[in-house]
Amino acid sequence: MKTLIIPCAGRSSRFPNMKPKYILTHPDGKLMVEKAIEGLDLEQFDRIIITILKEHNDRYESGLILRQIFSAQPKVEILVLEEETSCQAETVYETIRRKEVAGAFVVKDVDNRIRLAEDDIEASYVAGVNLETFEKEITRLRQKGFLVVNDQSIIVDIIEKSVKSKYVCVGLYSFASAEQFCEAFITLRQNAFSDGEIYLSHVISYLIGTGKCLFRLKEVQSYDDWGTSEEWLQEQSKYRTYFVDLDGVLCRNCGRYGAKNWDNDFELIEENVDVLRGIAAEGGQIVITTCRDEKYSAAIRARLEEHGLPVFAMITNCNHARRVLINDFAPTNAYPSCEAINIPRNGRLKDYLP
């Protein structure tokens, strides 16, 4: 039996004035906790346990929300802790103890998304990224854990908050034995770490140092880090919805009547289409607005998608007048939550986009 544990019992101190981070909404509509595990092969797990605080359950209905999200996933269990634990390692320990977890298990941080090439169901490993490959994706280096690895990809040690190697730990830990983990945690709690925070890396380092377990490096294929509210809002910014006028922005302006009209003229402004194609590739949604009649929509969509621009939606028959977008803002959808960009007719879009 193999269990996935997702500890969500922290204070989310890096997300001030917001709900617990694991129930924040990603731009695609999923919650952070859903995004955190979508890169994993969930079929390999017999149980999935999400551990939360009673305070969050009472104030935000987080338990109900999680049950609704995973209603079609019978292997998901919710553990509610009455009080906050001292550290993530203790949260994992309490989850194992209270849920009677036995055998192999995996711990996954909730504030990032990774994708593995493969997974070994019995192996003990720590997921990591190579700084030389993921240089742009890694921020807050001094707050990360670093994996010291030998030539056989065996982890020699894990060192917290000190740049000691090119491999950065990214919050996925596989243990061969729940019993072994608990024994190591209890030993650390009773000794040198009795007054300090015990990281999962400390448990792994202890198991390595005592020769009780061998851990390998498992490199990830992709990595998205949402460890702070700033990084989460930066992730949101990739998924903006762009309401784009057709005539004068994506194609040369023409009207319903005249020698060149909607029935016989559709000259794309390819430079502007290229700009929006790049935005869409990053996650942005493109909504076309136009005064043209609905009967033209299929041909318009086909022409744009033929040039590689996916159209999320199209609003036809718009008034030939000023367009106003109204949206609410909040800490999770920061001000300004809507913007306006005005370009000259048939102008260059890239000159006006930030």
- Find tokens 């999320």 and name the residue: 312
> Which residue did the predictor score with more confidence, 333 or 181?
181
290-to-116, 162, 188, 262, 342 alpha-carbon distances in Å: 43, 55, 65, 11, 15
Domain assignment of residue 302, given as a range = 240-351
Task: Report whether the peptide linkage leading into residue 310 is cis, meaning its omega lies within 30 degrees of zero.
Answer: no
Residue 259: what pLDDT? Answer: 93
Residue 101 lies in a domain: yes
Of the residues 203, 228, 253, the one at which a domain ends: 228
Among 73-77, 221-225, 235-239, the range of highest mean pLDDT: 73-77
Residue 60 lies in a domain: yes
Distance CA 333, CA 19 (A): 12
Beta strands (DSSP E) in 124-262 are: 125-130, 145-149, 155-160, 167-175, 216-225, 241-245
User: For residue 250, how many other CB atoms are within 10 A of its CB?
Assistant: 25
Residue 94 lies in a domain: yes
177 within 8 A of 183, measured Cβ to Cβ: no
**Mean pLDDT (whole number) for 69-98:** 95
Q: Which residues contact 151 (CB under 8 A, 6 or more apart)?
A: none
Of the residues 228, 251, 273, the one at which a domain ends: 228
For every residue of 215-244, DSSP letters joined together read: -EEEEEEEEEE--SHHHHHHHHHTT-EEEE
Residue 289: what pLDDT? Answer: 97
Looking at the structure, tell me whether residues 203 and 309 fall in a common domain: no
Q: Read off the CATH number of the domain in which 269 is found.
A: 3.40.50.1000
Among 9-13, 49-53, 323-327, name the one with the lowest average pLDDT.
9-13
Query: Bridge partners of 289?
Result: 245, 315
Residue type, 189: R
Looking at the structure, tell me whether residues 95 and 33 fall in a common domain: yes
Residue 206 lies in a domain: yes
Looking at the structure, tell me whether residues 89 and 8 fall in a common domain: yes
Local confidence band at 160 (pLDDT 50, 70, 90 cut-offs): confident
Of the residues 207, 228, 249, the one at which a domain ends: 228
Domain count, the chain: 2
Among 1-15, 192-206, 326-340, name the one with the lowest average pLDDT.
192-206
75: exposed, middle or buried (C-beta count within 10 Å: 0-12, 13-18, 19+)?
middle
Residue 235 lies in a domain: no
Residue 192: what pLDDT? Answer: 66
pLDDT tens-digit map of 43-52: 999 999 999 9
Q: SS3 of 132, please? A: coil
pLDDT tens-digit map of 187-208: 999 886 555 789 999 999 999 9
- Is it the case that residue 118 has pLDDT exceeding 80? no
- Is it the case that residue 330 has pLDDT exceeding 70? yes
- Is it the case that residue 134 has pLDDT exceeding 80? no
Query: Bridge partners of 99?
Result: none
Among 22-26, 141-145, 262-266, name the one with the lowest average pLDDT.
141-145
